[in-house]
Every structure is written in C-alpha cells, then in structure tokens.
Structure 1
Amino acid sequence: MSASQRKTLSISEQLELIDDVKVKKLKLSAAAKKYGIGYSTAAKILKKEDDLRSCMQMNGNTNRKRKRQSVHKDVNEALTQWFTQACPHGATVTDHVIRQKATQLAVNLEVDFEPSNGWLMRWKQANNVSFKKFHGESTSADHGSANEWVTNVLPQLFRGYDPKDVRNYDETGIFYKAMPSGSLRFAGDEESNGTNVPKDRLTML
C-alpha cells in the first residue's frame, strides 16, 4: 500500500479493530485488510489500546480523523510543557518515559505519531535537555592503594601457582530494586538531589 493510499482510522475505528482481533478472534492480517491499513499499522494500534480507550473517555468526538503532519508541533509543544512542569517536582524522567508520554499525548491530540530515536534526539537538542546524574552519587577510586596492592600483595598470592592456573574474575551486583541514577533535565537546572538506593541485590560472577 503506497503512502498516498494509506488510510487514517478514527479512534472509534481503531477500537473496533482491536475488538475484532481480541474479542471476535479475527486474525491481525485479516483485520488490517478489513480496515484498509498495513499489518504493521494494525500491530501498532493494538499496542496503543490503553491510550485509545482513555482518549475515548476524555474526548467525545472519537470519530474525528487523526491528523497527519510532517512536523509534530502539537506533540512537541505539549511534551515540553509537561516536562517543564515535571522537573521542578523532582520527577525522574528517562528516555523511555519521554517516549511513553509523547505517545499518550499524540493519542490525546489525535496526531499520527511514533516517537523514534531520531525524533527523541531532535527534541532534546531543541529544548537543551540532557541526562544529569543525581547529586551525591559520584565516587572516586583509591588509585594509590590499588597500585600498592598490585605491586606488593598480588605477586605473593601468585606464588606456588602455575600461570595457566591463574585467572581473573569479576563480580558485580544487580540492584534490581534501584531507580535510575539520574534524570533528564534542562541545561542550567540545579543538580537534583538523590535518594537512598535500595540495597536488595543479586551478585553475579
């Protein structure tokens, strides 16, 4: 199906497609053909079910067609406004959160939009947004003690072992309850204060 032939479904039609697949057990390929759209487009509609149903509850005119535009100005402006309000409240905002919010805003604004990596990079550059570590999380290594250990202690540990029996292993902790160590912020914003990191961990060799 060429770009000029693509069909834009209203929110109601998209929800009908979802019901056809999930309730009536219609194959996704058959549903895509029924509504005159591509298979990949139908798959994306299924992933947006929650946002579509929320939009239907908030917006009475669900039969209005979603707008297509080359520059997603409405989404960008709404996202920037949301981000501006979220930062002062200490919200942790990652790339994943930005994509999710942009997708939700696109549904609410009825803009045909997919948040790609390229779009995310351009949005951050346009708004001077970058990732900042939370204050108080930086550490420094004791290089002097490390060098002394390698020079004086390690050779003693090697005594009595054949070189082929000496191996190097590394150990790392997986803090599976830890939150991100930083957040997206506008350039020039003050450092964000961190919180105590949960110490629940698994040790991996």
Structure 2
Amino acid sequence: MASKGQAYTIKEKLKIVRRVREGESQAGVSCSTGIPAGTIRGWLKEEKKLQDLAFETHEIGVLQKRNKGATDSTLDAALFAWFTQSRNGGIPLSGEIVKIQGQKLSLDIHGPDDTFRASTGWLWRLQKRHGIKSFTVTRERRSPAPDAANAFPAILRELIESEGYNKEQIYNCNETGLYYKLLPDKNLGTKEDKQTGFKSAKQRVTVLLTCYKPGTHKLKPLVIGSAQNPSCFHHVNRETLPANYSASANARMTAKIF
C-alpha cells in the first residue's frame, strides 16, 4: 500500500501506466496499489513525457524518485550525445571538460547572445539526471593488444617504403600538461611538525615534445601558455629561447596550433 506523499520512480510510474494500458481499470490498480486514482490519471496524461525521460536518461536516472527535466532540453540532448560518444570511445572526461563542452555547445546552439553558464550546480544536476558518476580511470583496460603492437612495425615500414617518406618526415610527438607551480602533496617531517594543508596551484602550460629519427635535425619543444605576450618575455629575443612559444585560451592545444 502506498503511503501519503510517497515519491515514485519513473520506472514505477510507467509500470502502473502499463497495467492500465493492458486492460486493468484505474480503480482496480488504485485499490491494489493504494495510489490515488487522480495520481494515476495524471501519469496517464504524462505517459509520453515519462517515456521520453526514461529513454533519455541513464538507468540510474530512471530509478531516481524525482527526475526534473532539463531547462534547455536541446543542449541537454546534444551534450549527453557527445558525452556518450566520448565515453564509448574510451575518452576520459572530467567535470571541467564537460562544463567547457556544455558552454561551447550552448554558444553554438543559441549564438553570441547566449547567457548560459556551466556552473557546478548545473553539472551536478546533469549528472543526477543522467546517472553520471565519478570514478577512477583504469588505464590498462584500453591498452593496445600485444599482437597488434607487435605487428605494427612491419606495417609502418611498408607504409614508409610505399609512400617514399624520408627520415625528416618520420617523427613522434606527444603533449603533456606542466603545472609549474604545483607543490608536492606529501611532506617529510617529524612528529612534532604541524602538518597544514594548502590549495593546489592550478597554473599550467601545455608542452609538445617531438623527436625525429637519429641523424636528422632536432625540433625545439613547443610551450603553450594562456598569454600572448607574457611579461617575462619583455626585452627577450624569443628566437634564443630553448623552446618555441604559442598561446591559447586555458593554455590548451588547439587544432590551429598543432
């Protein structure tokens, strides 16, 4: 028997609706479950909305007691489609990445007059709506298969010979984030030392490192910062620096820079 004020999941509501659609009377379902007949009538009127919510949300979201729809359903659908595609491709996604993508998609959808802001509260509601949880990434799961890795050198060698590439066209590059003000998260000390915490410094640059085959010319590392003309470069000839410098928003790699 249902108690007064009891909340029901989307799955439970659809189950009651299905019983009525399959031939049971509303009065009979109400009597057997204790759910007021007026409540059941309301669910019947909202059947399409409930089905859409069940389809759009993750299974965990379907099992939640209350599932308020997104304020901007177009943005919500586009962002969740991007999220699903990215996760299926094995791309790790942090909350900040999702917020940046949400901001970008909203701007694409609504144009330059867009006033949307991807806040922490918005991210929390998105996660709750779609049953998105935070978890630790296990890198080994998607590591290359040994057989494929062992076979690749022969494939690469054949490609180099068939296309006629020379040594200067063969290179390997990778990028990494350098948090140049980040302090260690563990300290050495005696029992008498007072261990106090501190906020992690988030200032970072992106570094692109490239290597060629031995015997060919070398490339300088590429450093990407957030400022076009950092004050530390004033009166400095950049050509004499041991690295090339470029800039982008948030000091991230972009397609244009790459």
TM-score by length of 2: 0.27
Q: Which has the larger radius of gyration?
A: 2
- Larger RCO: Structure 1 or Structure 2 (Cα < 8 Å, ≥ 6 residues apart)? 1
Give the TM-score taking structure 1 as reference length. 0.33
